[in-house]
Chains A and B, each alone.
Chain A
Amino acid sequence: MASLTFENVTKRFDEVVAVDDLDLHIVDGEFMVLLGPSGCGKTTALRMIAGLEDITEGKLLIGDTVVNDVDPAKRDVSMVFQSYALYPHMTVHRNIESPLLVRKYHADGPDRPARKLTRAERNERVAEAARVLGLDELLRRKPAALSGGQRQRVALARAFVGRPQAFLMDEPLSNLDAKLRAATRLELVDLHRRVETTVVYVTHDQVEAMTMADRIAVMSTGRLQQVGTPQEVYEAPANLFVAQFIGTPPMNTLDGTLGSDGIDTGAGVVPVPPHLAGRLEGGRKLVVGVRPEHLTLTPGGPLEMAVRAVEWLGHECLVFGTTGGADAVVRQTGMAGVAAGDTARVAVEAADVHVFDPDTTERLA
């Protein structure tokens, strides 16, 4: 186990900046998810931890050691690849055993010199990893004879059999079907709790991030946007990008101007959130953000919404429409009570209103 630290790390591929001045501390034993759309630099950041990409500028630390120039094999991290990257010519047993064959381990206690494991020790560890991941029956098979989910487990077993300082995972669930993905999410969390290793997990899927992470680092265009617990990132997004990237459907936003009785959006007046009351100057331009579940359809609501479509999903329904020229979505449980073509009234509580600066896109707090 070890912490991981990016200190002002930049990665350039020729002229393209893939990771821009990244400062991020990943705590020992933490499940950290790097979340962002494709091309945001999350995978590059992960590959820099593994040592598969050089660092252009800045420092990367594993524990207290700067590892910029440390060989990938010496960093004591393991990785689960998107394609699983199993050795197709080896049996499951050999695949899992692979890191144990070459590396040296402090098998006689942390103070004793590291050595290669004996065959008996290797077999014991492989057996344990196979048991934890339910691969006992499959050890003699080759990867071609396994299902996608089984291959994924083999990749996980290979990654944690050597008890590395950190687990790196690059979209490990993206090749699984939806049902298996949901089941594997739970298993990964369970596995993390059991092995207590630092995990860095890259994904573009916010559901994976929200459900598994201790903390989420949201990235966009090579830059870190926000780091926080799933709750912090959802309830207090640092900027408009985070606000709209996290949550499905995304947060509704409306341009407005601060007036005497609230924020005037053109489609109605939205109340000012309590923590900002009296702190902003009148007439100031703002961007208002409200999550779909915080909008309610009420006859006397202050906002007007032209309903375009209603999606009923059983446990909830989504009402799509336009408010003040912008697209808006309302999420509510039960039936909507409105239909496409109607004009509805919508209300929002002051505490549920997020306010952003239109120029910097930063949250006003």
Chain B
Amino acid sequence: MNTSADNAKFLQIQDVVKDFAGYKAVNNVSLDIAKGEIFALLGSSGCGKTTLLRMLAGFETPTSGRIVLNGQDLAGIPPYDRPLNMMFQSYALFPHLTVWDNIAFGLRREKWAKDKVAERVEAMLKLVQLGKFGKRKPHQLSGGQQQRVALARSLAKQPQLLLLDEPLGALDKKLREETQIELVNIIHGVGVTCVMVTHDQEEAMTMTSRIAVMSEGRFLQVGSPAEIYETPATRFVADFIGNVNLMDGKVTVDEPDHVVIACADCRHYVGHGITGTLGMPVTVALRPEKITLQREKPADDFNAVAGTIQELSYFGATTVYRVKLASGQVLAVSMANTERQREDQFQRGDAVWATWPPQAHVVLTH
């Protein structure tokens, strides 16, 4: 049963469609998720990620397609009989029950013996470091504590699959960053397979092993955070994940080991071949942190462009410069502030050259 092939296909989503009166909220998606994986469905609101999660939980029924968990087809199984648990957006803790009773709720539905329930609840409280808070009501807790109660409640029944709906959405930024790592540690510690929904790309990147970027009910790209960031498959993904400069151009040289792409302001020398033809219109995606600024004109004609610093934003660790090019396009350049006091710092209005290495580009053909 537990062969590695089974483990790689622990959760199978096969050709799933959800049609709301003619509107396809989820439009024919397929996906395999491995056992123990933390997987993110990432997209802006209305992209279908929450609908897909609700179909996994059983609150929505797929119009067509199959969802198979650990070899069991979930079709027709109501939410209360599914071997999975969900942590709801803004938690949905029962306000009339104490923290202790909230966590015990699922165990009591399975008719656990009293001492077993107590043992498990205490273990869960310890896991989320809320040992002293068992007697409190949810409204007496801070947002971060409520989040941990919700996590404990959803883990108490030892689900085969844990669903997280915007798990950190209700927390403020500072707490969110701290909680991300804590949450991942707890999930890994328990070893549960996890699918989370988020609109926050940073959250998805730091917490998960793989991400599916969703838009209009479809998966645009599925891959590890690094794959999605470094080699986005489409213009939408490149634009959605992180900051990116996009330049439209045409292929002028197409060799197996390199290509040259001519854009309005510069010519790109790309150090690898692409699947395309000469003269084909493409988009070059360039991350701001891969570009450097200098005052002198570089020796090489390729991968360099002249411009004027229009604006700069100091973030402490980095400074983001916005460089206006001849065509009017504005190039974002992010440079690390490695020295405390740079002599000759770039100022607004300075004429500069921006350069980047031949491996920096991603060439998007669609």
Q: Do A and B bind each other?
A: no
Q: Which B residues are closer than 8 A to A by beta carbons?
A: none
Instruction: Identify the A interface with B (CB < 8 A).
Output: none
